[in-house]
Structure 1
């Protein structure tokens, strides 16, 4: 069987190495390749050139723009508006969001009573999965974006009081991702303390500047590696189901 990852760029992506190691340990003859495409419009041509692809993972920046290329979406994609996993059977493409599963399962063990309000840094496809999970868990949240809007808070308007009131802060932006490891979301870090939980969806580097800033002030920190493993395993479960859409 043949699987892959689409996104751009993909030079430091997690999935190819993870699945190749998984296939070697399982001793199964499967392929997993990275397909960096500069535009989502290239997807039909990619699939035509590789008709044996049975499943794809989707990463930045195509989790939302891939939707018109799908024949069907599951409930979580419908709610979040973002897809990171595609099952392909006989040319029929169904989209799923396994980011939801990965984030939820990795976050729940860390939650404490004070984590009853959240700040979500970023407003893209990954942010939508986080919002879905927080809604399911009954945790109210505010979204922080570069410019701010009626629905979001701008970084320039974040105050120490806002940081203090939101003990759960989740970075869904690429700020701090390798190779730009010195970058970090511009929030008032001096207002973070030992009651905070900082979660970064980035896994490379292992500790982003965002997480380091939190750790230095006593916060509990978590990177995105476990989430990636859990979402990858959820993708594998979807791809190996015996029937389409079941």
Structure 2
């Protein structure tokens, strides 16, 4: 067993505030230990006021990279040397690699969603029609990544229509995948009837509001795959309802695990042990 820290130990730093709830440190450190890698994943709580100073200082250490979470995913961009094309399109970063003193930002949130979806539902996003609930930060990452992966069409429904229209317009202009805003219940029904995948990318249904459904259950049909990014509770009301209606379901915890796995590979160049990551996360969630 490798003892931490050592002079040679490569650090991966999680930046955010607050971080007490994060499962990322034990998830990554389990794999580092299993693979006998001289790496250590550490959480560092930092305020927006001190972000530049802390990030600049840590970047000068023996750091392989950073994970970035709320509230710094957008503000951190101004301090980076380079941005991956997908992260630039999304306008937010959750992963930063440090190579030869240069920092490059990535966004693995959408990638994590797609990997989880494709693994759980045994399908491919390419050529699929997707109905997306929400247009916030998570929805933006998912929608842009779906477009990068050549989804055929993306329908977007959001309580604030202007936000949905802005997201759809950016997808249509920058990636040239057809994105359409859907408002009325009847138009939602018509859109979902043509879709392969329905995704809740809002916080509706999250603890303590477990009884909230983000969509009218009459709109769910057995031939649609239903995914939810909410993972507390593990089985949301949306997923329970969809399962009862015969839908294939994709729980939100997979996105958390796979975005971490994608980040792990960026940091190290090594294939992560996804099953180990999953075991750690499920164990931690079960104990909460």
The bucket for the TM-score relative to the shorter chain is: 0.7 to 0.9
Of the three residues 53, 61, 75, the one matched with 1:65 is: 75
Matched, 1:175 2:204: yes
Query: Within the alignment, does 1:148 sit opposite 2:157 as a pair?
Result: no
Contact 2:11 2:40 in 1 (8 A): yes
RMSD: 3.1
Which residue does 1:74 correspond to in 2?
Answer: 84
Q: Which has the larger radius of gyration?
A: 2
TM-score (norm 2): 0.70
Gaps of 5+ in 2: 1-9, 169-181, 271-288
1:96 to 88, 101, 106: 106
- Aligned partner (choices 121, 140, 157) of residue 128 of structure 1: 140
Residue 164 of structure 1 and its aligned partner are, at CA, apart by 5.2
Q: Identify which range, 70-79 or 86-95, moves more after superposition.
A: 86-95
How many angstroms does 1:21 deviate by? 1.1
What is residue 7 of structure 1 aligned with on the other side?
16
Report the alpha carbon displacement of residue 161 of structure 1 after superposing the two structures with TM. Answer: 4.8
What's 2:26 paired with? 17
1:46 to 48, 54, 60: 54
What is the alpha-carbon distance in structure 2 between the residues aligned to residue 183 and residue 80 of structure 1? 31
| Alpha-carbon distance, 1:90 to partner | 5.3
**How far apart are residue 75 of structure 1 and its match?**
1.4
- In the other structure, the counterpart of 1:118 is 130
**1: distance between equivalents of 2:16 and 2:85?**
23
3-state SS, counterpart of residue 55 of structure 1: strand
Moved more, 64-73 or 184-193: 184-193
Report if the CA contact (8 A) 1:84-1:95 is conserved: yes
| Number of residue pairs aligned between Structure 1 and Structure 2 | 238
Question: What is the Cα deviation at residue 232 of structure 1?
Answer: 1.9
Match of 2:40 in 1: 31
**Which deviates the most, 157-166 or 192-201?**
157-166
